[in-house]
Structure 1
Amino acid sequence: MPLLEIENLSVSFRTPRGIVRAVDSVSFSLEPGRCLGIVGESGSGKSQTMLGLLGLLPSNGMVSGSALFNGEQMVGMPRSRLDQLRGSALALIFQDSITGLTPHMRI
């Protein structure tokens, strides 16, 4: 069973001009003990995908699709449960990893 399984995850934003779709139907899975790097051009939706997954979008952001972490659905998960997972079981390292990582500590 995958540790993380994302299926058709989409991220959209409500704007004065209507809905803007930032991420359209991303799917991937991550097996226990494996690493996954999300790479792409600037503006391709990498950060929005992860922010949506972790429930960290601004108030005009919307997430749809499925995101299972250890079999638990994250899309629509209550904030209190997301707060428990963030930082203990799940984390996001932004592109400027020099300021986000301490070289002498293991990840």
Structure 2
Amino acid sequence: MTERILEHPVLGSLEAGKTVTFTFNGLEYEGREGEPIAAALLAAGVRTLRHHEESGKPRGIYCNIGHCFECRVEVDGIQGVRACLTPVRDGMAVRESGVLPSPVRDWRKNNA
């Protein structure tokens, strides 16, 4: 199932790019070559990209322009990659990011 926009009221018909296959948390997905990881996952119905470091609550796409860092994922073993800015490519292995340092928690610990 895809939730991809194929026809847009302002942009018109959106051309299909080359289909690539990648994995997210070990499951296989398809995307369009060059589109952001976040867009490919969103089109596939994936809404949760990671879980909050302290609360454990699900996090997903928020700003989608690279400012907020909510879409951090692990790509081919590299943590902290922003899914909204990173193009998907064939064979890419994407996972939820592991627990990354929390600037707030670390600041509290060092300034208590």
**TM-score past 0.5 threshold:** no
Q: Give the TM-score, by structure 1 length.
A: 0.31
Q: Per residue, is there more helix in 1 or in 2?
A: 1
Q: Give the TM-score, by structure 2 length.
A: 0.31
- Please identify the structure whose Cα radius of gyration is greater: 2
Q: Per residue, is there more strand in 1 or in 2?
A: 1
